[in-house]
Amino acid sequence: MTTQYTVKKGDTLSQIAQQFGFKNWELVWNDASNNELRARRKKPEQILPGDQVTIPEKTPKKEKVSAGQPAKFQMAAAPPLAAFSLTISDAQGNPFDGLDIELRMPDANTSNAFKTDKNGLIEIKDPKLKSGEVEVVSIVDKKGDPEISFKDRLPSPLAVGLAHTLKLPNKRKVADDIASTAGVARRASWGASRPKKELDPDWDYDTIVVHHSGDSGEKSAKAIQTKHFSKDFDDIAYEYVVTLEGQILEGRHLAFKSAGNSEHNTGKVAIIVAGDFEHQIWDDDDDPTQVAIDAVVKIANALKVHFPITKLVGHRDLPRAKGDTECPGTELYKFMDEMRTKTGLAGP
């Protein structure tokens, strides 16, 4: 007679099999009564609390032996099950392969390096690893420049003996897709210098903030980055630069938090239109061009595909900036309603 067993937290298939007198877990896992479980979980390490495992009836195996001759029997050993597994996928559920991950084992003082395979999987098959929790020390995408850390999305320590899953946004792919859609010139094309240090991560953007160069009137991404370095910024402050000719250039990588929004940086993508659009008698000023306005609309619409963006505002609209800045300049600000209409985004 078969038995139904409900998987509990901390159970492994090997433990369950031994509990019912099976020294080889494969006899339980491969039994036809567990076809549905195998189809759903794919690997025995991936059973979860609440799963139903059918324990088959034990049947003796018969072997022919010669009368009067000694015979030796050896039970086939099952391959070791993973003592710990972690599967990482992207926001769409696709395997996130090639991630560099550091894990600290229970009671260990140092961490070990791993890399997710083509299935987004890390497995540790160590018979000495039987209890405790594994700390995820770091997760880094090193598949291109820049390296992208997920230090803001590390899970809590993960129990040994369970299959764990984690979803992370594939920030590099999203940035690449947006650049391709909107025709963005990447950092390498304009000779961007590397950031002075690792930048703070950000994601899940809900607001686009429009800026201008202001009185200094820088017209290129390189000039803007140079100015920001001189003001102790760690990189150019904005994710995108739009020129008066309508070109869109990549500023700081989209994976990292803006730095020019009067300290209202989290969840905001910053776009600077290169020029001075606040007309004054003591300096040379610029007038916005329609191609520049259309370029802002183009990158905003590309961003909307990937993020829950609801607002398009000028720098002056942000709470701390009110009364402190005219950015993005009176002449450019006149076009904010047009940009909102063409993107379907709201104002402040």
pLDDT for 323 equals 74
The residues, ordered by sequence, that sit 6+ positions from 294 with a Cβ below 8 Å of its Cβ are 246
CB 104 within 8 A of CB 137: yes
Stretch 92-98: mean pLDDT: 94
Q: For 54, phi and psi rounded to 5 degrees?
A: -90, 125
Stretch 197-219: mean pLDDT: 93
What strands, in cross-sheet order, belong to the sheet with 163-167? 121-124, 84-89, 163-167
pLDDT for 2 equals 86
pLDDT for 62 equals 66
What's the mean per-residue pLDDT of the chain?
Answer: 91
Q: Tell me the pLDDT tens digit for each residue of 160-180.
A: 877 889 999 999 999 999 999
The number of CA neighbours under 13 Å toward the Cβ of 202 is 22
Name the CATH superfamily for 172-343: Peptidoglycan recognition protein-like (3.40.80.10)
What would the two tokens of residue 320 be?
């701390």
What would the two tokens of residue 326 be?
């005219």
Q: Which pTM value belongs to this model?
A: 0.81
Q: Tell me the pLDDT tens digit for each residue of 124-172.
A: 888 788 788 999 999 999 999 999 999 999 999 998 877 889 999 999 9
pLDDT for 73 equals 56
CB 204 within 8 A of CB 267: yes
Beta strand 268-273 pairing with 311-314: unpaired
**3-state percent breakdown (helix, strand, coil) of the chain, nearest 5:** 25, 20, 55
pLDDT for 184 equals 98
**Residue 65 pLDDT class (50, 70, 90 cuts):** low
Task: Reply yes or no on domain 84-167 having CATH 2.60.40.
Answer: yes
pLDDT for 181 equals 97
Stretch 96-125: mean pLDDT: 93
Bridge partners for 165 per DSSP: 87
> What is the Cα–Cα distance from 1 to 258, expressed in whole angstroms?
64
* Nearest residue to 244 via CA among 272, 266, 206, 224: 272
State yes or no: pLDDT of 75 exceeds 90.
no
Determine which of 61-75, 79-93, 199-213, 252-266 has the lowest per-residue pLDDT on average: 61-75
User: What is the domain partition of the chain in residue ranges?
Assistant: 84-167, 172-343
More confident residue, 263 or 273: 273
143 φ/ψ sector (left φ>0, alpha ψ -120 to 50, else beta): alpha
